[in-house]
């Protein structure tokens, strides 16, 4: 459980691997704890999101700028500001629900000084919906899903990698 919380926290602020890769096998192994895992995954993810927000807000000149530069978005700040003025709320919701790297959303939200309370509310909604939906599916249909994962593990690993890379590409194409 501490490992899940650590990965959930880190993924929302700097780590590239989403917590789903731990949440799924944990829920399959102990379906009676699926919602418990989803709850702590959500809390840790939102806390990590606040850390990512702080990186953007407080540490942009050092750590934040390095991370934004690492992903190739340093030269697109004016476009990001204009987009966030209109669509910041949707960015947080979409980033929290999809393979779009949530850490980029959290850092940008801080950098662009998006309303912190709204950021937290939308993060709780998006991350909670994502992790509780996953936990619910695994709780109610875990055995058939487990058999499917066991049978197609290699293909699912490739699909996951494509989705992860696709999330970065989608985010890049938005700006």
Question: Is it the case that residue 33 has pLDDT exceeding 90?
Answer: yes
Instruction: Give the burial class of 173: count Cβ atoms within 10 A of its Cβ; 0-12 exposed, 13-18 middle, 19 or more buried.
Output: exposed
Query: What is the tally of structural domains in the chain?
Result: 1
| pTM for the full predicted model | 0.80
Range of the domain at 98: 2-174
Q: Would you place residue 46 in the very low, low, confident or very high pLDDT band (cuts 50, 70, 90)?
A: very high
Give tens-digit pLDDT for 114-152. 999 999 999 999 999 999 999 999 999 888 877 887 788
How many CB atoms are located within 10 Å of the residue 156 CB?
Answer: 13
**Letter string b/e over residues 65-81, b meaning 16 or more CB atoms within 10 A of that residue's CB:** bebbeeeebeeeeeebe
């Amino acid at each position: 459980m501490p490992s899940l919380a650590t990965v959930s926290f880190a993924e929302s602020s700097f780590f590239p691997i989403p917590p789903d890769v731990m949440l799924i096998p944990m829920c399959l192994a102990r379906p009676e704890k699926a919602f418990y895992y989803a709850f702590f995954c959500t809390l840790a993810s939102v806390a990590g999101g606040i850390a990512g927000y702080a990186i953007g807000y407080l540490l942009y000149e050092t750590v934040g700028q390095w991370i934004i530069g690492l992903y190739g978005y340093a030269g697109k700040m004016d476009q990001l500001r204009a987009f966030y003025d209109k669509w910041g709320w949707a960015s947080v919701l979409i980033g929290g629900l999809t393979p779009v790297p949530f850490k980029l959303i959290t850092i940008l939200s801080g950098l662009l000084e998006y309303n912190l309370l709204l950021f937290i509310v939308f993060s709780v909604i998006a991350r909670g919906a994502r992790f509780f939906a996953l936990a619910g599916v695994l709780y109610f249909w875990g055995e058939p899903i487990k058999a499917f994962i066991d049978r197609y593990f290699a293909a699912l690993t490739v699909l996951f990698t494509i989705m992860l890379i696709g999330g970065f590409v989608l985010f890049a194409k938005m700006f």
